[in-house]
Structure 1
Amino acid sequence: MNVIDAFHNVHGQELSKRFFMDARKTHGGIILTDDVFQLFEAQNSKDLVDETEARWRLVETAWDMNLPKHLVQIQHDDQGILVADNKIRRVNVTSAKSALNGYQKSRCFYCFAPITIDQFFEHSADVDHFFPHKLRECDIQKPINGVANLVLACPSCNRGQQGKFDRLPSVNLLERLHKRNEYLITSHHPLRETLIAQTGFTEPARRGFLQDAYNCATLTMGGGKKWKPAQSGISVF
């Protein structure tokens, strides 16, 4: 499969729509179809632009640092930015919101309420740590700021009256996190190599990594009832 064909396949399946046609032989490039322009008529079309730019910045960072993608480690800096740090050089890469939004389809990870990554809107998403910082009380090496632990949440779920704050989510939400990480890995998202390096080289290893962190957090935080919000929108992932 060449690069052009790869863009029309997701998880080994042919896409129902084609956003561009291969016209390298006749026009020296590609031709955008009407379907790609329709994407920008959607309500959150700006989020798509931001996400595309974020993905490109992740690829450019590896080139700029003159490193293979699997050696560029991406983490959150608690200021809303993903940073690359190879122990010699630290580079601000892109907005965490833009890089994480694609899988969630502009919905809160927890309750599915509509969100946007535009900071000027009322329902702009928060970057939330699935495992709270208290997890470090169990093991200081746990990657709290690793990409595998970051999700986008609506303000209500993250810090509202019935919000998560530093509570541990329910086990079915842990399964959702694993599913999200596997989706990014198998779809060859630019964060793929970072996720693999941070959580494991096989699916069972990555599942075990999250379960171990969950067990550790449960012991550290005293067990008890886990947090789960009421669903506020349709299930889209």
Structure 2
Amino acid sequence: MEPFEPEDFWRAIILYGLNTATYKIALAQCLISYGEGHQTDIPLDVLARDFFVLYRKRLEADRPQLVLPDRLTVMERIVRLERLGKINEDQAIERVAREAFGDVLPRFHTVSDKALPMSFYHFDGRTLHLTDELFDLFGNGPKREHLKDETGSRWDLLEAAFSLRRERWSLTNDIRQFYLEKGYARTDITHTRPVLNGYQHGRCFYCGDVMDNDEVHVDHVIPRQLVQHDELWNLVLAHRFCNLQKNDALPDAVYIEKLIARNEHFIASNHPIKQTLIRELGASPEARRKAVLRVYHDAELVIGVTWQGIRGYRPDTDPLLHKFNQLWKTIPHSSR
């Protein structure tokens, strides 16, 4: 089996870790800044100050940081007290150090209750000792900016998903309307593309090759004219060229099998919309597979298979499909 790289484990944490709050993403952003600064040892009080400043700025937008409605995270409560003048900044930072890290620091490297075999820091109760793997990614790593974008976008999507869940909005169609009605229009929604791209590891769904940022299209695998929705399970990223080649055609079954694998890869994520996807497609991989195939076979009856795919494409040599299968086998998931 191809060995995993530090970026694979970082993505596992960011894209597949359990996120009922945004603490893990905030800690990840602190780690990125330390890695860029080549800092090796971070005292707890320094981390607490950086964590507090990061959240104070983030909460200016008044977006939820916790999946549970009518509840606030410890960080939201501390920032609110400081804003109201009930505690000063130094007192706020002391409370962060004392109250905010009890769960996130020991569990940052845990995905689906499994400790990953690579760590980006070790914590001795007083100091974070950063590892070479962190510096490999964010010191001068070639994928530093890309991974930073993914991490920042994950926080954006968590906040949006928490809000959607609280207000009982449905999936993709309503996300667009939600951004407009709730003032999110100021945020470029294409900024969320790095997270979706993270699930495809920067590769085109149809040909498997690396995509450049200026040539990425979002495509309905089963044409929208047939499904009449924009649900996430049927959306992929593709090269502009590959998307235009496919156009509104129904692709060969090999791409539907890849879509099913991609969906299992996506459902492995503990993003708050995970349960929406499970509710729409089914509670088990078998049920979800049947749901996708049912839509595909119905489409076949209407228009037939009209696109055989990119010339030369072979599933057995597709690095994206290989990556889906690798991560799926390695990380245990409660939804399997």
Q: Which TM-score bucket, shorter chain as reference? A: 0.7 to 0.9
Whether 2:135 is the aligned partner of 1:37: answer: yes
- Letter aligned with residue 52 of structure 1: T
Matched, 1:206 2:288: yes
Deviations 1:178-212 (A, max 9, x none): 11111121232344233223322222221111011
1:20 aligned partner:
121
* 2:220 paired residue number: 129
**Correspondence list, 1:40-51, <5 A:** 40=138, 41-51=140-150
Alignment partner, residue 55 of structure 1 = 154
Q: Give the SS at the match of 1:112.
A: coil
- Aligned to 1:107, what secondary structure does the other structure show? coil
Question: Which amino acid counterpart does residue 53 of structure 1 have in structure 2?
Answer: G
* Alignment TM-score, normalising by the size of structure 1: 0.73
Q: Find the residue that maps to 1:67 and give its secondary structure.
A: helix
Q: Would the alpha carbon gap of residues 74 and 43 (structure 1) be closer, same or farther in structure 2, given more than 3 Å must change?
A: farther
1:83 to 154, 176, 186: 176
Q: CA shift at 1:235, angstroms?
A: 1.6
Partners of 1:43 and 1:231 in 2: CA distance: 27
2:171 aligned residue (45, 69, 74) = 74
1:108 corresponds to which residue? Answer: 204
Amino acid at match of 1:74: L
- Highest CA radius of gyration, 1 or 2? 2
**What is the one-letter code of the residue matched to 1:125?**
V
Q: CA 1:196/1:155 → structure 2, altered by over 3 Å: closer, same or farther?
A: same
More helix by share: 2
TM-score normalised by L of structure 2:
0.54
2: distance between equivalents of 1:5 and 1:170? 46
Task: Give 3-state SS (helix, strand or coil) of 1:126's partner.
Answer: strand
Per-residue deviation at 1:66?
A: 7.1
Partner of 1:154: 239
Could you tell me which amino acid in structure 2 is paired with residue 83 of structure 1? R
More strand by share: 1
Whether the 8 Å contact between 1:108 and 1:115 is mirrored in structure 2 is yes
Q: Aligned to 1:83, what secondary structure does the other structure show?
A: helix
RMSD: 3.2
Shift of 1:231: 3.0
Residues 55 and 190, structure 1, Cα contact 8 Å, conserved in 2 = no
2:308 — aligned with what?
Answer: 227
How far 1:130 sits from its partner (Å)? 0.9
Letter of the 1:106 counterpart: G
> Aligned with 2:248: secondary structure?
coil
Deviates more, 1:212-221 or 1:185-194: 185-194
Aligned length: 212
User: Which amino acid in 1 is paired with 2:119?
Assistant: R
Flag structure 2 segments of 5+ consecutive residues without an equivalent: 1-17, 19-102, 324-336
CA pair 235-227 structure 1, distance change in 2 beyond 3 A: same
Q: Deviations over 1:8-29 (max 9, x none)?
A: 2445654332123335x213xx
Measured after TM superposition, the shift of residue 3 of structure 1 is: 4.5
Q: Which runs of 5 or more residues in structure 1 are unaligned?
A: none
- TM-aligned CA distance change 1:176 to 1:66, over 3 Å: closer
1:169–1:37 Cα change, 3 Å: farther
Paired position in structure 2 for 1:216:
298
